[in-house]
Amino acid sequence: MRHRRVILFSLFGVVIAVTVGLLLLWALGYSALEGYAYLLEYSLLSRTALFSTLSRAALLVLLGLSASTAFASGALNLGQSGQFLIGAMAATVFGLFVNLPAFLQIPLSLAVAALAGMLYASIAAFFRRRFNMNELIVTLMLNFVADYFTQFLIAGPLFEEGRQSPASPAINASGWFPVYKGFDTGILVALLAFILIYLLWNRSKTGYEWTIMGQNSIFSRIGGCPNEENFTKAMLVSGALAALAGALVIMGGIQHRFMPGIKANYADDGIMIAIVANNKVVATAIYAIMFAIMRTGAMGMELETGVPLEFVHVLTAITVLFVVASREYSQYLIDRFSAFLRARRISSRIEDYAGRDSSGSMD
Amino acid sequence: MHSDFIQMRSIVKVFQPATVALDGVSVDINQGEIHSVIGENGAGKSTLMKVLYGMVAPDSGEIYFKGQKVNFSSPRDAVKAGIGMIHQELMLIPSYTIWENVVLGAEPANRLGRLESKEARAQVQALVDEYDLGLSIDERVADVSVGARQKVEILKLLYRDIDTLIMDEPTAVLTPQEIRELFRWVSQAKAAGRTIIFISHKLAEVLEISDRITVMRRGKTITTVENKGLDKSFLARAMVGRDVVFSVSKPPQEPGQTILAAENLHYTDADGQKKLDGVSLKVRRGEIVGLAGVEGNGQFELVQALVGLIQPQQGSIKLKGQEIVPLPISKRRELMSYVPQDRKSWGSAQPLSLQENVIMTHHMTNTALQGRLRWMLSRRKTRQLANTIKEEFEVVVPNIDVPFFALSGGNQQRAIVGREFMLDNDLVILDQPTRGLDVASIEYIQERTLQKRADGQGILLISTDLDELFSLSDRILVMYRGQIVADLRPEETSPEEIGEYMLLGAKGGDNE
């Protein structure tokens, strides 16, 4: 029953957000319904549109799961963007210097990227366990380190001679994700990761211990769970997921090289998705797909109706606000209202009683 | 004596989302009487008094004070009208001296707003002398006993010229001696014309000091009676709604082998406070060892050292002959069951379901819960276990997916005790297992504890409730300043004797 309620509140939030978006478009003088129609058309209604939405969704699912796995177990990993870049760089380096048959090259390249992301996240886990340093701050700072370090690499050691701007050379073609009729097989990596993470959270001992630790770490400690180990595990899994997203950007798509700006806003979106999804695995995937639809469709909307691309950012912000706020606040309002009704029922019953029995004795 | 001194009429209070705390409660308090409000935990006693004190706004109902309708919107208004309240948790600043705590919020100041400390101090001293409270007012609150802190709260109200005093379970944390002294003071205050409202669930105390008694049950006033010719069973029946057994039956039993042997434990905390000062104790099979003591004398640290939450600097702990000091909590929990004193923040994860809360520790120790692979947990088997605990320990919930916070305190504790007892370890540590529970749950948990004893398991029971210690324990140990100062059999001692050890560390104060 509680689950249904949660879903209901989330839907309510989405509906409100969409309505507010409509009003906003209408107030700005655009044809609102038409805009939405193009948004859907350019994100879902053709094969290319659908596949490019799915490619984007794959990245957002991985980054969203990275954030929600960390947050739900109480590990505040905000280093998705750093781990993403390190993962992308690891895949690039591997793809530049190793050349194996594709059936080995692709999984190995993914494994190397995931490992690099784990290593990068483990720095924060180590500082937390050894010196009790706040992982939130350490991971945030390491984002800058990753950013400048990768920029240095593509401007220096990995710079492709003859280019106008910094970028690495393209990786060996054996490491490219095969594309079937526009469908980037990298998407399957995200699907596989989603299934594994779902099993981890819902079927494994570690997932159970993460759940308890995320809600009350003293309780899990007293219960005998190895909190410190579980914290490290959560950081590592979170780092690996973010790094896989980085690898997907290099190994999929058309460029196949590390260029400035590849991280775009993916990492921040991932954190936002985790927050909207309340760190739940399935909800994270659903919101990731929804965000991907909006981001991809936005270009079509701009093309056809002139609604600026940035409008979608406003729309996602509104969605976040309404979903998160309605989750917390509508529960509160409903509770308050039901308490009020209950109190009124009791008072009126007492009055009836006093009216019938004017002596007023109560027992 | 005015009979229309305080009248509360049809007070209704519903807490969110739908907890009916006060279901149309009416009560009259006469001037100059000691009026007890009794009821089980959760009956609404404290809420009713917080409504009178302006701390909780009622949803409906009226309050008349000295014939006038009043509507206190904050405790400040109530205090101004002369009504004061002492809460269960004392509200003092530990690092301030006693007199500073007393004047805080009502400081005498000169025209420039500067504190007239000399004058304030003198006023406080005068009150201490007048009421013979025996406090030295320059001591810091952090350095004095719980009993003394309670006196400071009383002093605060005297200083503000309070003539109606609400005391919420004042005896819960006191030793028998301190309770004597409190009662002496309460009678004295009554003689001086003050009105005292005394909230309690301890029937003997209520019968001893009250003029009139109001009984509450599930948010309703059941009756208000003159305290003449009443007895405990009458009050208990009114309070619980059925007959209550006052003592559980404990058949005599010879204890078996030693299960737990702690030797010479020393622990000094991060602030340099010596919390354990050479503690040694033994718990044998089929034996309940009770641990008494004023809170803060090292009982809590002892439990933490046994469970593995703190590392004693010296000493050994042997469990079934095995040294466990070097073992981590996870290994120790394979050998001992532990019910922590704080069921909300230590014993459970409140937002999660009953099922998730009761499989804790089982998920590690019980290999039968594994799924197809070793790292998995079988959904079917964990649900089965949760249902078994729910049935076996009579946890009243519609199903095991209900979030833990939605359970009443009694049901939460049954679930926690059920979880720990089902672990089936030979050593059980119970830290305040029945504090704050309803009578039915207390009886139930005490019976299950005795059953564990009959099964031949060793039990260490820490409790501030001396009645509980006397009815369950085979031996009662008393802790005082990090040492165990007494080891007595309940048949051969009395609550007063235990109280002396709790307060002074020795009989007749011959320590030091």
pLDDT at position A36, please? 85
Residue B417 belongs to some domain of the structure: no
pLDDT at position B455, please? 93
Q: What is the pLDDT of residues A4-51, one digit of tens each?
A: 666 676 677 778 878 888 888 888 888 888 888 888 899 998 888 999
Does the pLDDT value for residue A361 go beyond 70? no
Residue A15 belongs to some domain of the structure: no
Pick from B211, B240, B269: which residue ends a domain? Answer: B240
Residue A257 belongs to some domain of the structure: yes
B195: three-class secondary structure by DSSP:
strand
Identity at A4, one-letter amino acid code: R
Distance from C-alpha of A250 to C-alpha of A244, rounded to nearest angstrom: 10
| Residue from the list B60, B222, B349 with its beta carbon closest to the beta carbon of A215 | B349
pLDDT at position A209, please? 96
Pick from B209, B240, B271: which residue ends a domain? Answer: B240
Which chain B residues contact residue A215 at CB under 8 A? 349-352
B59 exposure class (CB count in 10 Å sphere: 0-12, 13-18, 19+): buried
Joined tokens for residue B143 = 């350095």
Does the pLDDT value for residue B115 go beyond 80? no
Residues B106, B179: one domain? yes
Distance from C-alpha of A233 to C-alpha of A229, rounded to nearest angstrom: 6
The reported pTM is: 0.83
Among A149-153, A342-346, B350-354, where is mean pLDDT lowest?
A342-346
Distance from C-alpha of B494 to C-alpha of B476, rounded to nearest angstrom: 11
Position with higher pLDDT, B14 vs B1 = B14
Distance from C-alpha of B76 to C-alpha of B72, rounded to nearest angstrom: 8
Number of domains in chain A: 1
Which chain A residues contact residue B18 at CB under 8 A? 335, 338-339, 342
Q: What is the pLDDT of residues A37-46, one digit of tens each?
A: 888 899 998 8
Joined tokens for residue A27 = 């107030």
Residue A41 belongs to some domain of the structure: no
Does the pLDDT value for residue A77 go beyond 90? yes
Among A65-74, A97-106, B366-375, where is mean pLDDT lowest?
B366-375
Check CB contact of B350 with chain A, cutoff 8 Å. Answer: yes
Among A196-200, B230-234, B323-327, B459-463, where is mean pLDDT lowest?
B230-234
pLDDT at position A91, please? 96
Distance from C-alpha of B101 to C-alpha of B264, rounded to nearest angstrom: 39
Average pLDDT value for residue range B394-412: 88
For residue A204, give the CATH number of its domain.
1.10.3470
Task: Let me know: does B356 contact B348? Beta carbons within 8 Å.
Answer: no
Q: What is the pLDDT of residues A237-296, one digit of tens each?
A: 999 999 999 999 999 988 899 999 888 889 999 999 999 888 999 989 988 998 899 889
Residue B352 belongs to some domain of the structure: no
- Domain with B284, as residue range(s), is 258-335+425-509
Q: Which of A5, A350, A353, A363 to mutate to test the interface with B (most CBs of B within 10 A)?
A: A350
Q: What is the pLDDT of residues B164-223, one digit of tens each?
A: 999 988 887 788 888 888 898 888 889 988 999 999 878 888 999 999 999 998 888 888
Pick from B240, B271, B286: which residue ends a domain? Answer: B240
Identify the band that residue A354 occupies on the pLDDT scale cut at 50, 70 and 90.
low
- Domain with A61, as residue range(s), is 51-306
Position with higher pLDDT, A354 vs B334 = B334
Please give the residue of chain B at the shortest CA–CA distance from A354: B10
Number of domains in chain B: 2
Mean residue pLDDT across chain B? 88
Among A325-329, B120-124, B238-242, B476-480, where is mean pLDDT lowest?
A325-329
Alpha-carbon distances of B197 from B36, B73, B153, B185, rounded to whole Å: 6, 20, 15, 14
H or E element in which residue B365 lies = helix B362-365
Q: Which of A199, A212, A233 to mutate to test the interface with B (most CBs of B within 10 A)?
A: A212
Within chain A, residue ranges assigned H as helices are 2-27, 32-44, 47-72, 80-97, 102-131, 135-155, 186-203, 205-215, 217-222, 227-251, 266-276, 281-305, 310-356
Q: Do B333 and A339 touch (CB under 8 A)?
A: no
pLDDT at position A359, please? 45
H or E element in which residue B355 lies = helix B354-358
Q: How far is A73 from chain B (nearest CA, A)?
A: 13
Identity at B346, one-letter amino acid code: W
Residue B434 belongs to some domain of the structure: yes
Sheet holding B68-70, edge to edge: B19-29, B6-15, B60-65, B68-70
Q: Do A346 and B352 touch (CB under 8 A)?
A: no
Position with higher pLDDT, B171 vs B323 = B323
Phi, psi of A169 (to 5 degrees): -70, 165
3-state secondary structure B39-103: CCCCCCHHHHHHHHCCCCCCCEEEEEECCEEECCCCHHHHHHHCEEEECCCCCCCCCCEHHHHHH
Residues B64, B120: one domain? yes
DSSP A258: -
Q: What is the pLDDT of residues B243-275, one digit of tens each?
A: 776 667 788 888 889 999 999 999 998 888 899
Distance from C-alpha of B17 to C-alpha of B174, rounded to nearest angstrom: 35
Q: How far is B486 from chain A (nearest CA, A)?
A: 29
B478: three-class secondary structure by DSSP:
strand
Residues B298, B221: one domain? no
Residue B264 belongs to some domain of the structure: yes
Residues B180, B305: one domain? no
For residue B306, give the CATH number of its domain.
3.40.50.300
Check CB contact of B397 with chain A, cutoff 8 Å. Answer: no
ipTM of the prediction: 0.84
Distance from C-alpha of B15 to C-alpha of B9, rounded to nearest angstrom: 19
What phi-psi label fits residue B443: left (phi over 0), alpha (psi between -120 and 50 degrees) or beta?
alpha
Distance from C-alpha of A225 to C-alpha of A206, rounded to nearest angstrom: 9
Check CB contact of B59 with chain A, cutoff 8 Å. Answer: yes
pLDDT at position A162, please? 85
Whether the upstream peptide bond of residue A260 has omega within 30° of 0, thus cis, is no
Task: Let me know: does B49 contact B197? Beta carbons within 8 Å.
Answer: yes
Axis-axis angle for helices B409-422, B379-392 (nearest 10): 120
Task: Let me know: does B42 contact B200? Beta carbons within 8 Å.
Answer: no
Q: Which of B376, B378, B419, B423 to mutate to test the interface with A (most CBs of A within 10 A)?
A: B376
| Residue from the list A221, A224, A349 with its beta carbon closest to the beta carbon of B364 | A224
